[in-house]
A and B are shown apart, each in its own frame.
Chain A
Amino acid sequence: MVLSVKNMTVSYGSKKAVDNISFTLKKGNVIGLLGANGAGKSSTIAAVLGVQKSKFEELSILGKSPIRNRKEVFEQVGVQFQETNFQDKITVKEACEQWQSLYKKTGDLSQLIQTFGLEGKENQLVKSLSGGERQRLAVLLALLPNPKLVFLDELTTGLDTKARRILWQHLQNMKKNGLSIVLTSHYMDEVDALCDEIIILRDGVTVFKGTVSAALESSKKTSLEEAYLYYSGEEDKW
Chain B
Amino acid sequence: MSTFTTFLKIEGKLVWKGMDIFIFGICFPILLSLLFGYLLNNDASMGFSTFDLSYAAVVTIGILATGVMGLPLTIADYRHRGILKRFQVTPVSPLTILFAQGVIQLIAAIISFIGVTLVYQLVFDYTLSGSWPLFLLIFAYVTLAMYSIGIFIGSLVKDQKSANLWSSVAYFTMLLFSGATIPYEVMPRFVQWGMDILPLSHGIHLLKQTSVGEPMSDGFIHFGVLTLCILIGLGGATKFFKWK
Residues of A within 8 A of B (CB): 49, 51, 70-72, 74-75, 77, 79, 81, 83-90, 94, 97-104, 145
Given known contacts A74-B91, A94-B10, A101 and B2 CB-to-CB distance under 8 angstroms? yes
Given known contacts A84-B86, A89-B17, A90-B14, A101 and B7 CB-to-CB distance under 8 angstroms? yes
Q: What is the distance, in angstroms, from A74's C-beta to the closest C-beta of chain B?
A: 5
Contact A103 B90 (CB under 8 A): yes
Contact A87 B83 (CB under 8 A): yes
Q: Judge if B161 is at the interface, Cβ distance under 8 Å.
A: no
| B78 CB contact (under 8 Å) in A74, A77, A87, A89 | A87
Contact A51 B89 (CB under 8 A): yes
Given known contacts A51-B85, A87-B83, A102-B3, A71 and B10 CB-to-CB distance under 8 angstroms? no
Contact A79 B89 (CB under 8 A): yes
Contact A86 B83 (CB under 8 A): yes
Chain B residue nearest in CB terms to A93: B10
| A71 CB contact (under 8 Å) in B18, B82, B91, B243 | B91
Contact B13 A102 (CB under 8 A): no
Q: Judge if B244 is at the interface, Cβ distance under 8 Å.
A: yes
Number of A-B residue pairs with CB-CB distance less than 8 Å in the complex they form: 64
Chain B residue nearest in CB terms to A51: B88
CA distance A77 to B6 in the complex (A): 21
Contact A89 B14 (CB under 8 A): yes
Known: A84-B86, A98-B10, A104-B91. 11 other contacts (CB 8 A): A51-B88, A51-B244, A70-B88, A75-B91, A81-B85, A85-B81, A85-B86, A98-B6, A98-B7, A101-B1, A101-B2
Given known contacts A81-B82, A98-B7, A89 and B89 CB-to-CB distance under 8 angstroms? no
Across-interface contacts of A102 in B (CB, < 8 A): 3, 87, 90-92
The winner among B2, B82, B89, B93 for most chain A CB atoms within 10 A is B89
Render B81-106 as a binary contact track against A, CB cut-off 8 A, 1 for contact: 11101111111110000000000000
Contact A77 B3 (CB under 8 A): no
Across-interface contacts of A87 in B (CB, < 8 A): 11, 14, 78, 83
Q: What is the distance, in angstroms, from A184's C-beta to the closest C-beta of chain B?
A: 15
Contact A101 B3 (CB under 8 A): yes
Q: What is the distance, in angstroms, from A90's C-beta to the closest C-beta of chain B?
A: 6
Across-interface contacts of B13 in A (CB, < 8 A): 94
Chain B residue nearest in CB terms to A100: B6
Q: What is the distance, in angstroms, from B9's C-beta to the closest C-beta of chain A?
A: 8
CA distance A101 to B13 in the complex (A): 16
Q: What is the distance, in angstroms, from A235's C-beta to the closest C-beta of chain B?
A: 34
